[in-house]
Structure 1
Amino acid sequence: MSDCGCDKARKDLEEYLRNEVCKTEHADIRAHLENCPSCRDEALVATTLTAVVARACKETAPEELRDQVLARLRAEQATHH
């Protein structure tokens, strides 16, 4: 296991966070993140952003808003046919 450097860690950060890199690369990137506060902060931002987006995708729009959007879509479709 070796430190892969900032360029490699940042280039492959998203794949690393999704466990989409090979075990050797994963270990090298992890070693780098353990020793580089800047890249570790970037990984934390990416992890936090991913969690916030995932949580937002689970929320359901209020029924009234959904009805308004669907009504508007239907109206737009009717005018274009």
Structure 2
Amino acid sequence: MSDECCESVRAESLTRIYHYLDGELTTTEIREISVHLEQCPSCHDEYEIEALLKELVRRSCSREEAPMGLREKIRQRIATEQTVWPGAGA
């Protein structure tokens, strides 16, 4: 599969990745996205980034205070996503 396979449906692909990470998919959907992630380097890279971010937030939220700079990193990621997906913050 091409690295560009999902460029035309980037928003949909990322939404599926978020649902996958959150365990919000059916068994069939989980199988489908698992196979896709194995075959698509672009989507797999996005999955890895989002999985790491989710883990960082999970670990950070288990303490009273967030690590220095976490809030700014999250704001930067949100700003990046809103730039990539115009109207996403609406």
1:9/1:39 contact within 8 Å kept:
yes
The residue that corresponds to 1:10 in the other structure is: 14
Task: Give the partner amino acid of 1:56.
Answer: S
Runs of 5+ unmatched residues, structure 2: 66-90
Offset of residue 11 of structure 1: 2.9
**Are residues 1:37 and 2:41 paired?**
yes
Q: Could you tell me how far 1:34 is from its partner in structure 2?
A: 0.2
Q: Considering only CA atoms, is the larger Rg found in Structure 1 or Structure 2? A: 1
Q: Which runs of 5+ in 1 are unaligned?
A: 62-81
**Residue of structure 1 aligned with 2:57, choices 53, 57, 60:** 53
Match of 1:69 in 2: none
- Select 1:26's aligned residue among 19, 23, 30: 30
Taking structure 1 as the reference length, the TM-score comes to: 0.61
Q: Structure 2 length as normaliser, TM-score?
A: 0.56
Q: Alignment identity in percent?
A: 35
Count of aligned pairs: 57
Which structure's residues are more often helix, by fraction? Answer: 1
Q: Retained in 2: the 8 A contact 1:9–1:32?
A: no
Shift of 1:59: 1.5
